[in-house]
Amino acid sequence: MYLAGVKPRKILTALKQRDPSNKTVLRTIYNERVKMQLKELQGGTQMQFLYKCITDSGYVSFNKVAKDSGNLECLFFAHPISKQLTKMFPTVFIMDCTYKTNRFRMPLLCIVGVTSTNQTFYSAFAFISNETQSSYVWALDCFRSFFNEHSLPQVIVTDREIALMNVVAVLFPKAKNILCKVHISRNILAKCKKISKVVRNGKIFCLYGNILWMRTHIKNLNIVLTLC
């Protein structure tokens, strides 16, 4: 059941249903799971095990090893089909880092592409040691290897991560780097809450959201007038 991804609590329930006299407790399940995980690692780290899994599965991957310790420091990977889609639809990509997604709290850079019919697809992922410019250079250099000089991205959407934006400007100089509206909206809401807790702020933010998504200046003007 562990290999099938069943959660410990459900494993315990299944054992009790099969044998009501079973004295196993939840801690026993967790301990056995840890033993099996350590056996799978074969003396390596979890990141090294992940690297082995993706290479054995035929993923396109690049890795960066720390010179002093020999530990895996950064890992870039993409499914073969994702690489094909990236080459087929090289125009628009969205880049963002997620946090606290693993026990080592390494940022996971997610790169999402957009098809000609506005459908999204996962293009590539990269575990990086930190969000410094050098880490982004390594990750985006790996990503750039998917393209030739005549089919580089034209639009790259990011949040206001300066290190990432600087690297995008260097490695993809012809691409337009635009900011994600979702991140802008979240930042506006956070700032409004700090300034005032008046209920009207909620109305102002809703109106601002309408302005942000309007496609014409005339509609924007009409909404702005309601704030006056």
- Domain assignment present for residue 29? The answer is yes
Distances (CA, A) of 44 to 47, 60, 102: 8, 21, 17
CA 75 to chain centre: 13
- Whether residues 57 and 89 fall in one domain: yes
* pLDDT at 222 > cutoff 70: no
- Whether residues 171 and 134 fall in one domain: yes
- Domain assignment present for residue 2? The answer is no
Helical H segments across the chain, by residue range: 8-18, 26-41, 46-56, 80-88, 133-144, 162-171, 181-195, 200-213, 217-227
- Whether residues 17 and 129 fall in one domain: no
What is the C-alpha to C-alpha distance for residues 13 and 156, in angstroms, rounded to an integer? Answer: 48
- Whether residues 107 and 137 fall in one domain: yes
Distances (CA, A) of 143 to 71, 153, 188: 22, 11, 31
- Whether residues 65 and 168 fall in one domain: yes
What's the confidence (pLDDT) of residue 72? 76
**Mean pLDDT within 201-220:** 55
Residue type at position 18: R
Q: Tell me the per-residue pLDDT of 64-102, one tens digit each, with 9 for 90 and over.
A: 887 777 777 889 999 999 999 999 999 999 998 876 556
- Whether residues 137 and 116 fall in one domain: yes
Structure tokens given for 88? 């087929």
What's the confidence (pLDDT) of residue 199? 43
- Whether residues 144 and 59 fall in one domain: yes
Q: Tell me the per-residue pLDDT of 15-37, one tens digit each, with 9 for 90 and over.
A: 888 888 887 888 888 878 777 76
Cα dihedral sign, 117-61-151-138: positive
- Domain assignment present for residue 1? The answer is no
- Domain assignment present for residue 46? The answer is no
* pLDDT at 178 > cutoff 80: yes
Give the structural domain span for 33: 8-41
- Domain assignment present for residue 206? The answer is yes
- Whether residues 76 and 167 fall in one domain: yes
Total count of domains within the chain:
3
Bridge partners for 111 per DSSP: 95, 124
3-state class of 209 per DSSP?
A: helix
* pLDDT at 218 > cutoff 60: no
- Whether residues 125 and 213 fall in one domain: no
- Whether residues 60 and 120 fall in one domain: yes
- Domain assignment present for residue 99? The answer is yes
- Beta strands across the sheet bearing 72-78: 60-65, 72-78, 120-127, 108-114, 92-98, 155-158, 176-179
What's the confidence (pLDDT) of residue 217? 52
Global model pTM greater than 0.85: no
Q: Tell me the per-residue pLDDT of 100-136, one tens digit each, with 9 for 90 and over.
A: 556 667 889 999 999 999 999 999 999 988 878 899 9
Which of 139, 160, 179 terminates a domain? The answer is: 179
